[in-house]
Structure 1
């Protein structure tokens, strides 16, 4: 180290070129930095959510939660498994053992175990949702779509906003909260149903048999192609024309003779309102490698375009903005760092010469640029924790710079030339 210092002291041009390269590289690194509120931390936790519509907690536990937990017991490296069975939903929270050497393998084994669960009720039409819990997977913005419009128009506006927001670079997905899925209700008349000798089980069975979408294997000629058997209802009028087995000899009669249909929405499990109007909230999650400030900026630009595309009477309000909160936090830390830098210069000027104090103070930005060069290489984000680390390390380094500068200044006061003093 001494030889390197002697070499740079004897070759000032090389020292200035090194300083210049540090500055240029640091400036280039700034443009590739990603901003976050906090660093992305993997909690080594997994959440498995399964929906069983209309089922009480007791059925959820017996028919959904327990079968999945039995599969999870086959996986090694788990610290804790907790489950919550509530109306229509099963949630299983899993903690991976912190001492596990390969937590990614454990998570992969959990995914495979969940995929192998095959004895769930047929009413569970969607596979269990497998989600890893990380600090970067929390919403960066929450929007509310509301207005003096019908439930159908509100739903269509929210789906349109969801579709457009998911196209924005940096957005991972958009979750809807407070929405009600569209439903077609069949309302039977008991008296007319009895007149045609039809029971409710006949109606349910007929609807199930004629509203299907199931895989039917593959067809191979050149490239393999999947084949599906589809027979889902496309319009509500098709339901009324559905033949149902009735009367004593087993003749079929159309459903419309003893029932009617209603185009509506499911019963709400959660209610959302904004400014006194029914609302649907949109929770926006960014991609793991996305920049929170840039992503939020793009979202706000897209919101201005919605004024032209959304139905008349529809409004969008920002309920929560993590981007703004993150920007404020970073600005506070940055302003404190700048104030600290100025105070260092002022104090050095009081005790050293102006020239020596400026040279000593330059060690702060040069060290900062050197650290910024490392950030993109190791995928470190510009966040509150990393900024505090920078400030603390700069505080320690400036102490060394002050001691060295003061010693050089003392030798020069004794009459030594700059080279000998250094």
Structure 2
């Protein structure tokens, strides 16, 4: 059967060229249209329920927020794991859905979780916003953070709103989070002397304002230098409307209005989070793409829009945490490896084989990669860090089988076996060991296809890409390569060209004879002293293992791959935002003093130390965090660890 197929492909070279043409056209088309993203968009069936409880101690957060939420979720069937973390002013409840449930059952459990959270209505009054439920998946993370700085908050705020509207028009964008963006708020600053003179209480003012509002939420009214909780006045459009609110009136027609006892100003809500970019106050736009959108194309559109957009005087921007960079770097590695791999294979083969054989053997690399890319969508895979990593791994394996097949065909030809029968005999002679080699490699990676749980979903792409690439390589070496070699071998050298060919073959034969003599002498010595050779090999292996264990450190993530770091701050309770802002400034200066070829950008949060930088909530005033984003390792000479050590020394 296999022999007949090989003969069929050898006799129908037009079919072979047609197959190759289809593979290249379909592969290139698929590759250019395939979705590119940073991480696989896997539903890992995990949810985070976050609740902000301003000013509360960890114990209060646990008793009044975390425990009631956990109790409500205990009643939901299908939750496999449930735990919580309670910190100052912040509750985080983690829910893991059972991996054995079907997709539809998972959606039902998510709906039940939402209903259970909605039933919790006895949270403290200080909890102004309802608990937020977020699914943990790749689309949860923004693709980039746009940091916008300017001369003042009004200017920055106006431009941010304008830019947000424009970015939202990009079809690939799903939503944008404005971090550090404060809503407008009308503030009523009461004059205590006028309160006394008019015999008015603050509660009279709050009731009068509340009576004029349909919607109410928490805010502050300043009185006697202190802040007291009252209802805000968000429904009002202008301060003048608040000034005219009647507090009380009498039978004589005298009316006491808000403007008679207080100053009404148009300002912003109380600041709970300060965002800084490159040590300057700013507002951040955390941009999220749709799950099916291509991260590179989306980023190109976003960057182009921002560059072309007209900005007010003094307003500038920079990008932080650009997730597309990782995908670009991996794509660059795969492209470079494939290109230089083909060149190295070609040059190496030229030493031992003829020109045409070297060309067609190296041809197996792009053919196999394009077949794999062409089949990726069939398995629901995209171009991401996992698939690109798999392509990098498999690049070095792709031409092993083709080299064996090509060399054996050439050997049979040199021995006088020409024509189709000679090529078929050459292929059939080594097809079993070649198939065994490919199969053992596939079997080594195949178990990763069946890894259970979330890890299995992330790992699935790697073995599948390797299996597809190796299978394509085997097909090419057994059916496509022999046909190409047969065509090239038909072109015999004639005349002066024939004389050059003969001289080239003689030179190569002499070189190979020289190598064989050296190898025979070494092999003869080893066979004569086999016990000594075995002992020496074992001792060398033990020495190398000991040297490696002692001198090569084990790292889960190599330092060369680290391009970001963060510094967390936790001051005593009661520390104000402004004090925390002053506290982190020396660290920002130390980071900014790094060479330009090392530091890409820096972003800070005062009022939160959460690594979820896209959340527009501060969990406590005495927390802060600085994110440092480094340039790629190719642009700098130091690892991230050395850079962090320098920052520590400076602070």
How high is the TM-score relative to the length of structure 1?
0.85
1:254-265 paired onto structure 2 within 5 Å: 254-265=257-268
Tell me the equivalent position of 1:235. 238
- The structural deviation recorded for 1:335 is 0.7
Tell me the equivalent position of 1:36. 37
**Mean CA deviation greater in 40-49 or 336-345:** 40-49
Does residue 162 in structure 1 map to residue 164 in structure 2? yes
Tell me the equivalent position of 1:305. 308
Per residue, is there more strand in 1 or in 2? 1
Q: Is contact 1:197–1:246 with CA below 8 Å preserved after alignment?
A: no
Partner Cα distance (1:250, 1:47) in 2: 57
Relative distance call for 1:84 and 1:163 in structure 2 (3 A) is farther
Partner Cα distance (1:348, 1:390) in 2: 22
Tell me the equivalent position of 2:194. 192
Relative distance call for 1:57 and 1:119 in structure 2 (3 A) is same
Partner Cα distance (2:236, 2:202) in 1: 20
Match of 1:176 among 168, 171, 178: 178
**Mean CA deviation greater in 179-188 or 288-297:** 179-188
Partner Cα distance (2:188, 2:164) in 1: 30
Partner Cα distance (2:358, 2:68) in 1: 71
Aligned to 1:16, the other structure's residue is in SS state: helix
Tell me the equivalent position of 1:220. none
Relative distance call for 1:63 and 1:391 in structure 2 (3 A) is closer
1:3-402 paired onto structure 2 within 5 Å: 3-51=4-52, 60-86=61-87, 89-100=90-101, 102=103, 103-120=106-123, 126-149=129-152, 151-213=153-215, 232-245=235-248, 253-274=256-277, 277-306=280-309, 308=310, 310-402=311-403
Relative distance call for 1:305 and 1:53 in structure 2 (3 A) is farther
Quote the RMSD (CA, aligned, Å). 3.0
Relative distance call for 1:84 and 1:259 in structure 2 (3 A) is farther
Partner Cα distance (2:316, 2:393) in 1: 46
Relative distance call for 1:143 and 1:152 in structure 2 (3 A) is same
Relative distance call for 1:301 and 1:106 in structure 2 (3 A) is same
Relative distance call for 1:281 and 1:382 in structure 2 (3 A) is same
How far does the alpha carbon of each residue in 1:164-223 deviate from its partner, in whole angstroms, 9 at most, with x for none?
Answer: 222223222222222222222112223322333322222222222221149xxxxxxxxx
Q: Is contact 2:45–2:135 with CA below 8 Å preserved after alignment?
A: yes
- The structural deviation recorded for 1:246 is 7.0
- The structural deviation recorded for 1:145 is 1.1
Relative distance call for 1:57 and 1:245 in structure 2 (3 A) is farther
Aligned to 1:357, the other structure's residue is in SS state: helix
Relative distance call for 1:60 and 1:261 in structure 2 (3 A) is farther
**Mean CA deviation greater in 52-61 or 99-108:** 52-61
**Mean CA deviation greater in 181-190 or 270-279:** 270-279
Relative distance call for 1:100 and 1:333 in structure 2 (3 A) is same
Relative distance call for 1:141 and 1:253 in structure 2 (3 A) is same
**Mean CA deviation greater in 15-24 or 320-329:** 320-329
- The structural deviation recorded for 1:69 is 2.3
Partner Cα distance (1:59, 1:394) in 2: 56
User: Which structure has the higher relative contact order (CA within 8 Å, separation 6+)?
Assistant: 1
Partner Cα distance (1:392, 1:186) in 2: 65
Q: Is contact 2:64–2:124 with CA below 8 Å preserved after alignment?
A: yes
Relative distance call for 1:325 and 1:391 in structure 2 (3 A) is closer
Q: Number of residues paired by the alignment? A: 404
Q: Is contact 1:148–1:277 with CA below 8 Å preserved after alignment?
A: no
- The structural deviation recorded for 1:294 is 0.9
- The structural deviation recorded for 1:97 is 3.8
Aligned to 2:181, the other structure's residue is in SS state: coil
- The structural deviation recorded for 1:29 is 0.9
Relative distance call for 1:241 and 1:41 in structure 2 (3 A) is same
Tell me the equivalent position of 2:603. none
How high is the TM-score relative to the length of structure 2?
0.57
**Mean CA deviation greater in 108-117 or 276-285:** 108-117
Partner Cα distance (1:127, 1:269) in 2: 17
Partner Cα distance (1:60, 1:240) in 2: 38
- The structural deviation recorded for 1:331 is 0.8
How far does the alpha carbon of each residue in 1:75-121 deviate from its partner, in whole angstroms, 9 at most, with x for none?
Answer: 22334333344565443222334455554443343233334444446
Partner Cα distance (2:253, 2:43) in 1: 62
Partner Cα distance (1:199, 1:58) in 2: 35
Aligned to 1:114, the other structure's residue is in SS state: helix
Partner Cα distance (1:232, 1:182) in 2: 11
Per residue, is there more helix in 1 or in 2? 2
Q: Is contact 2:182–2:269 with CA below 8 Å preserved after alignment?
A: yes
Q: Is contact 2:330–2:389 with CA below 8 Å preserved after alignment?
A: no
Relative distance call for 1:291 and 1:84 in structure 2 (3 A) is same
Aligned to 2:256, the other structure's residue is in SS state: strand
Unaligned stretches of 5+ in structure 2?
Answer: 217-232, 425-651
Larger radius of gyration: 2
Partner Cα distance (1:346, 1:74) in 2: 67
